[in-house]
Amino acid sequence: MGDSGRPTHEHADKDGHFRRQGSSFRDSISKDPNSKFPAEKGRYALYVNLGCPWAHRTILVRALKNLEDIVQIIYTDFDLTENGWLFTGLNGSSDRDPLYGFVGLKQLYLKADPNYEGRYTVPTLWDKKTETIVNNESSEIIRMFYTEFDDLIDPQYRESTKGTAGLYPPHLRSEIDAMNDWVYNTVNNGVYKCGFATTQEAYDANVFPLFASLDRLEQHLAKPSACHGGPFLFGANITEADIRLYTTIARFDAAYHTIFLCNLKSIRSDYPRLYRWFRRIYWNASSIPKGKIFKDTTRPEIYRYGYTRARQRQIMGPEAQKKNFVVPCGPSVLFESWTEDDEDIDNGRIVAWKQAGDKTPTSAMSDLSIRPPTNGTATPTGVPPDATITPSGKTDLTSSLRSPVSGSSSGPSYGSFVTTGDGAEAEGDIDPKRKLQRRTTYKDENEKWYKAARKAEKKSGAPNVHLAL
């Protein structure tokens, strides 16, 4: 049970809307040696799992800040139960908590506070000295990691050394904070509002703002002034905004698009700039110190399993634990490789931006209008202003994780609904004047990318495949 009095599997409130509960532990680690929780090597442990996007943020920043020898990391299994996350010996977790021998995170929370009635979430930042939880809010944990341990790490990883190239540089903070606000509400958390909605009204009220915000991100990456002329959200370097968005986009096509019903568009087929931004980070195409952590901790197989299981539990309740379930297997190509041609295209684009500024023409955002149903059932809110089966019956996916196929094709091309007449959709029906057409909005850009993919396939000796344009 959570502090709302509902079982763990019942994610939505009675009105059908999913509302995320606030984190309960909000203390901070400080570089001040006289503080309540001073930064010390080996004193703290970070509890995470590989499926959770919020925990994923902290895993990334811990590595990017070179804190592996400073802050211990402890993995749970990624199968959420009534007792929270468990230690099962599967999927990267130990069979017991290495600190206390606990079998689940619930026991750790109750050790910190015997009267605790909230949810047992990751990430959890634990103080081994006072044996309590310091913080379980990912957005605050990553900011502690930015600066508070800097006196204990190599100077090249310190924020003060990086200056304007830091993860949260002073000159970009207002822009990063502004983006974080709407991206969290409509994208990071928006996918959960869609996936855990239990009424059509709740779903409709959140799915359109989600895609309006993805459109806004696509447009942001098209404007040199908005992204400061760089390939990332705010310039030539990875910032907090990129990290917070990355963990959602990494899960989108593999899990949210299908399992969480976020299927108006897909990232790879409908958002070329956003997909390009993601691929650059995933493949570490730019020289990011320790940037390999993005690829190493992105596990689509885990996401498909975990979110399928969560949806099944929501629908079936506790009985879901005894039922078989089917996990979707796509996309067939996880993420297309980053090639030399991709690098050349990006470099040429940046040069053109520097020469032309915001006068650089941009293509239309989409030929799919993101709007609510016309039957008046809902009005969107918050739109931005602009494996292996073990003998015990449990599933261990770590043995079956597939690596992305280098130089593979993009697979089938997707289309979008295009209105060819003036007729409105009747409730429950699609107007016959609407038909599915092949997307052509990004034809020129896609042709360049497919050409690069063919070149990579030929170089690797892969068989020729048809790439629909």
By annotation, the residues acting in catalysis are: 52
Enter the tokens of residue 278. 């993601």
Distances (CA, A) of 14 to 41, 196, 296, 408: 46, 12, 39, 45
Question: How far is it, in rounded angstroms, from Cα 358 to Cα 456?
Answer: 33
Enter the tokens of residue 163. 């200056």
Q: Which residues pair with 46 in a beta bridge?
A: 73, 125
Residue 447 CB-half CA count within 13 A: 4
How many C-beta neighbours within 10 Å does residue 385 have?
5
Nearest partner of 61 among 239, 236, 256, judged by Cα: 239
**What letter represents residue 386's amino acid?**
D
Q: Are 92 and 98 in contact (CB under 8 A)?
A: no
How many C-beta neighbours within 10 Å does residue 342 have?
21
Q: Are 124 and 47 in contact (CB under 8 A)?
A: yes
Q: Could you give phi then psi for residue 134, rounded to 5 degrees?
A: -80, -50
Nearest partner of 245 among 269, 221, 270, 261, judged by Cα: 221
Secondary structure element (H or E) that encloses residue 171, with its range: none
Enter the tokens of residue 436. 């599915």
Enter the tokens of residue 367. 């030929």
Question: How far is it, in rounded angstroms, from Cα 162 to Cα 172?
Answer: 14
Strands 388-389 and 395-396: antiparallel
Q: Which residues pair with 84 in a beta bridge?
A: 81
